[in-house]
Structure 1
Amino acid sequence: MKILVPVKRVVDYNVKVRVKPDQSGVDLANVKMSMNPFCEIAVEEAIRLKEKGLAEEIIAVSIGPAQAQETIRTALAMGADRGVHVTTDATVEPLAVAKILKAVAEEEQPGLIILGKQAIDDDTNATGQMLAALLGWPQATFASKVEKDGDALNVTREIDGGLQTLNVALPAIVTTDLRLNEPRYASLPNIMKAKRKPIDAKTPEDYGVDITPRLEVLKVAEPPKRQAGVKVESVADLVAKLKNAGVL
């Protein structure tokens, strides 16, 4: 079985982002970029399935500028076998991403697609669901545990009421949550080996996908700064302030 793992290049989660002066977007100049944390979890889960003998090949796919190849190399260093880089400098919205991934899936014929439930840059949380709809495959989102069950998967997912276990027939789409696993660090020998692993270069046009944006960003603004707290003299004062605020 092949496993397809989409990975996204985003601003590193440790970086405090800044809004451009014209409020047209986030300033990415000289900002550290890395693999989306949820994508790292997806790569790790694919590797664990391969280590259990449940998969023969892991393919990492990234859609983005030339620098996104570094993100693919990171996945290869972790344990993926080869990569597909769909090159574009444009901002690609979730629906266009799903259409490109559908074309890649039809070409590669994977038995499973594992991807992060969302990216930390736009928090859209839509690509996995859109891809499942386009392919007509069953889906299990927000996975916190994945187990093989014959020709299907038992996926435990986190919901508002607690945990829910789904049995999904393969091929399927699984999106990963934070508690699924702890991604490994790539060792130096694996980083060197990753440089020799193949990465296929593609473009959205190769797959016949129009990535023209359907949405227009009007303004990007920082959230309002948190106001400083106040000290109270007694519990009675605290209760009074909470009542005045409508909390109690």
Structure 2
Amino acid sequence: MKALVAVKRVVDFNVKVRVKSDGTGIDIANVKMSMNPFDEIAVEEAVRLKEKGVVSEVIAVSCGVQQCQETLRTAMAIGADRAILVQTDEALEPLAVAKLLKALVDKEQPDLVILGKQAIDDDCNQTGQMLAALADLPQATFASKVEVADGRAKVTREVDGGLETLSISLPAVITTDLRLNEPRYVTLPNIMKAKKKQLDVVKPEDLGVDVKPRLKTLKVTEPAKRSAGVKVPDVATLVVKLKTEAKVI
């Protein structure tokens, strides 16, 4: 069984992002970049399935600039067997990424496609669902537990009302939630081994995919600063302020 895992290069979650002075986007100059945390969980889950003998090969895939190779090397240090970079300088939207992944799914024919449920830079939460629709595959999103056996995946997913368990046939698309696992610490020996693993680079045109943006960003602004809170003497005053000032009740 082959597993394909998508990973994205994003601004590190510890970094406070800054908006460019001209409002055209986020300033990433000299900013630490890392693998999207949800994607790191996806890689870890695929590697665990390989360690259990369920999966025979784990392929890491990333779409973006040349520096995404660093993210793929991290995935291979965690345990992925090889990697594919779809290199492009275009700003990729979720639909474009889903189309690129669909082309790779057609080429590699994996039994399982695992993605993070969303990226922490745009929070779109769209790529996994779009990929499942384009590839006509069953999907299980927000997975907090995954069990694979007898050509099916049993996925426990987090929903508003609690937990929901799905049984889906393979091949399938799964997106990971935070509570699925705790990614392992990447050791130096594994980082060195990852440098020797296969990393293929292709272009969107090699896959026959048009990644031209369909959306135009008009302006990016920082959120308004929160005003200071106020103390009220009693519940009655609180209710009045919620009605007249906050207008929430």
TM-score category, normalised to shorter length? over 0.9
In the aligned structure 2, how far is the partner of 1:99 from the partner of 1:243?
A: 48
Q: 1:149 Cα deviation (Å)?
A: 3.4
**Secondary structure of the residue that 1:61 maps to in structure 2?**
strand
Q: Which residue of 2 aligns with 1:7?
A: 7
**Secondary structure of the residue that 2:27 maps to in structure 1?**
coil
Q: Which residue of 2 aligns with 1:96?
A: 96
Q: 1:246 Cα deviation (Å)?
A: 4.1
In the aligned structure 2, how far is the partner of 1:136 from the partner of 1:64?
A: 24
Residues paired across the two proteins, number: 248
Q: Which residue of 1 aligns with 2:108?
A: 108
Q: Which residue of 1 aligns with 2:175?
A: 175
CA RMSD of aligned residues (A): 1.3
In the aligned structure 2, how far is the partner of 1:67 from the partner of 1:145?
A: 32
**Secondary structure of the residue that 1:95 maps to in structure 2?**
helix
Distance 1:162 1:69, change over 3 A: same
**Secondary structure of the residue that 1:23 maps to in structure 2?**
coil
When the two structures are superposed, what TM-score results if normalisation uses the length of structure 2? Answer: 0.96
Matched residues, percent identical? 69
Aligned AA (1:11)? V
In the aligned structure 2, how far is the partner of 1:104 from the partner of 1:242?
A: 53
Q: 1:57 Cα deviation (Å)?
A: 0.5
In the aligned structure 1, how far is the partner of 2:153 from the partner of 2:6?
A: 19
Q: Which residue of 2 aligns with 1:81?
A: 81
Q: Following superposition, which runs of at least 4 residues in structure 1 exceed 6 angstroms of deviation?
A: none
In the aligned structure 2, how far is the partner of 1:2 from the partner of 1:59?
A: 8
Q: Which residue of 2 aligns with 1:196?
A: 196
In the aligned structure 2, how far is the partner of 1:246 from the partner of 1:207?
A: 53
Q: Which residue of 2 aligns with 1:68?
A: 68
Task: Summarize deviations over 1:132-162 as a string: whole Å, max 9, x none.
Answer: 1111110001111101232101101111111
- Structure 1 unaligned residues grouped into runs of 5+: none
In the aligned structure 1, how far is the partner of 2:148 from the partner of 2:238?
A: 53
Q: 1:96 Cα deviation (Å)?
A: 1.0
In the aligned structure 2, how far is the partner of 1:65 from the partner of 1:124?
A: 20
**Secondary structure of the residue that 1:192 maps to in structure 2?**
helix
Aligned AA (1:216)? K
Q: Which residue of 1 aligns with 2:219?
A: 219
Q: Which residue of 2 aligns with 1:145?
A: 145
- Give the 5 Å matches for 1:5-44: 5-44=5-44
Aligned AA (1:204)? P
Aligned AA (1:131)? L
